[in-house]
Amino acid sequence: MDVLVTGGAGFVGSHFVRATLAGTLPGLEGGRVTVVDKLTYAGNFDNLAEVAHDKRLDFVPGDVADADLTAALMRKHDAVVHFAAERDATTNVLGTEVLLDAALTRNVVRFVVVSDGSVYGDVSSGASTERSPLNPTTPYAATKASADLLALAYHRTHGLPATIVRPSNTYGSHQYPDKLIPRSLARLLSGRTVPLHGDGSAVRDWLHVYDLTRAIAMILTDGRPGEIYNVGGSVELSDRDLTALLLEQCGATWDSVEQRPAPAGHDARHALDDDKIRQELGWRPRVEFDAGLNTTVRWYRDNHAWWQPLPAD
């Protein structure tokens, strides 16, 4: 399978590309990959350094919203995994529509949109299933929900084999430090304070990036077109409890914590019901949170040169 990976120099995208070329993802062994990434704030070609010389990898700097570029790239590929996302609608909505149009012309056999569990909004109890209504709180989540609806509409109207992946909060190496875990590690490892927003009671379900890439590979090869698959994590933690674990890992105390107001639109709780992918595709998370966090902390401790130039505010 020749796969076009958008946003493949970002956090999850680069993990997916490296694992595909390493032959560790089920059903993708021996495949070729083209990465298209415009290398904005979270895209980093260094994330692909270990596979940069692999003859099965092509890298194209560019914008998925560029219709001519996207059409030219699509002609060479059987499948698309769409990770590319920004903080506005240009990439998330317009870029997705451009990709869908190009994929429809090419008659690709698979089109996977990597969405976000935040599209369900705040979940006070229980967990969101794939049938739960979309209720995004933030503009970013709204653009991701819009992209999902576009892809599903292309499937229903035109038969495009599009599938949606909605993961929990994902963590691991190579993550840009604008998220809680990498931001806290970058600040603690450089002797700075870490922010705790609000009273720290917001709860998230944490998923290791290795488990997410496995899920995406399974959905790409065996998922049902027109369907949505939630991918849940292995543990639910409040921001306060997670911060305590990070302090312990870095040998710091609560004196290193700086209280800040909760950001606008900060949902109190996200939780995903992932029974569907477990039953249909046999996926299960393999990385226990304690082990995954230990590995992540070790990577950031050993790779100062990667994160030190990046803002962690």
* Domain at 296, CATH number: 3.90.25.10
In tens digits, the chain (313 residues) has pLDDT values of 899 999 999 999 999 999 999 999 989 998 899 999 999 989 999 999 999 999 999 999 999 999 999 999 999 999 999 999 999 999 999 999 999 999 999 999 999 999 999 999 999 999 999 999 999 999 999 999 999 999 999 999 999 999 999 999 999 999 999 999 999 999 999 999 999 999 999 999 999 999 999 999 999 999 999 999 999 998 999 999 999 999 999 999 999 999 999 988 899 999 999 999 999 999 999 999 999 999 999 999 999 999 999 988 7
Per DSSP, the three-state class of 96 is: helix
Helix 180-189 to helix 239-249 angle, to the nearest 10 degrees? 30
Beta-carbon contacts of 291 under 8 Å, excluding residues fewer than 6 positions away, are none
45: exposed, middle or buried (C-beta count within 10 Å: 0-12, 13-18, 19+)? Answer: middle
Task: Say yes or no: 198 and 133 in one domain.
Answer: no
**3-class SS shares of the chain: helix, strand, coil, % to 5:** 40, 20, 40
Quick one: DSSP state of residue 219?
H
pLDDT of residue 222: 97
The verdict on residue 279 lying in a domain is no
The verdict on residue 284 lying in a domain is no
Quick one: DSSP state of residue 165?
E
Nearest 5°: phi and psi at 113?
-100, 120
244: exposed, middle or buried (C-beta count within 10 Å: 0-12, 13-18, 19+)? Answer: middle
- Specify whether the CB–CB gap between 229 and 292 falls below 8 A: no
The verdict on residue 10 lying in a domain is yes
Q: Is the dihedral of CA 53, 58, 9, 222 positive or negative?
A: negative
Task: Say yes or no: 213 and 199 in one domain.
Answer: no
The verdict on residue 155 lying in a domain is yes
Task: Say yes or no: 155 and 181 in one domain.
Answer: no
Task: Say yes or no: 143 and 10 in one domain.
Answer: yes
Task: Say yes or no: 72 and 106 in one domain.
Answer: yes
The verdict on residue 285 lying in a domain is no
Query: Strand runs (DSSP E) across the chain, as ranges?
Result: 2-6, 32-37, 57-61, 79-82, 110-114, 162-167, 169-171, 194-197, 203-208, 228-231, 235-238, 257-260
73: exposed, middle or buried (C-beta count within 10 Å: 0-12, 13-18, 19+)? Answer: buried
* Domain at 7, CATH number: 3.40.50.720
pLDDT of residue 28: 93
pLDDT of residue 311: 87
| 298: containing domain | 177-205+238-269+290-307
Task: Say yes or no: 72 and 52 in one domain.
Answer: yes
Alpha-carbon distance of 243 to 28, in angstroms, equals: 37
CB atoms near residue 298 (< 10 Å)? 12
The verdict on residue 66 lying in a domain is yes
Nearest 5°: phi and psi at 309?
-75, -10
Alpha-carbon distance of 60 to 69, in angstroms, equals: 9
**pTM of whole model > 0.85?**
yes
- Specify whether the CB–CB gap between 60 and 107 falls below 8 A: no
- Specify whether the CB–CB gap between 204 and 243 falls below 8 A: no
Task: Say yes or no: 186 and 244 in one domain.
Answer: yes
CB atoms near residue 170 (< 10 Å)? 24
Task: Say yes or no: 50 and 143 in one domain.
Answer: yes
Task: Say yes or no: 199 and 216 in one domain.
Answer: no
Task: Say yes or no: 163 and 83 in one domain.
Answer: yes
The verdict on residue 187 lying in a domain is yes
The verdict on residue 274 lying in a domain is no
How many independent structural domains does the chain possess? 2
Closest to 35 measured CA to CA, from 24, 43, 27, 26:
43
Task: Say yes or no: 165 and 185 in one domain.
Answer: no
Task: Say yes or no: 131 and 188 in one domain.
Answer: no
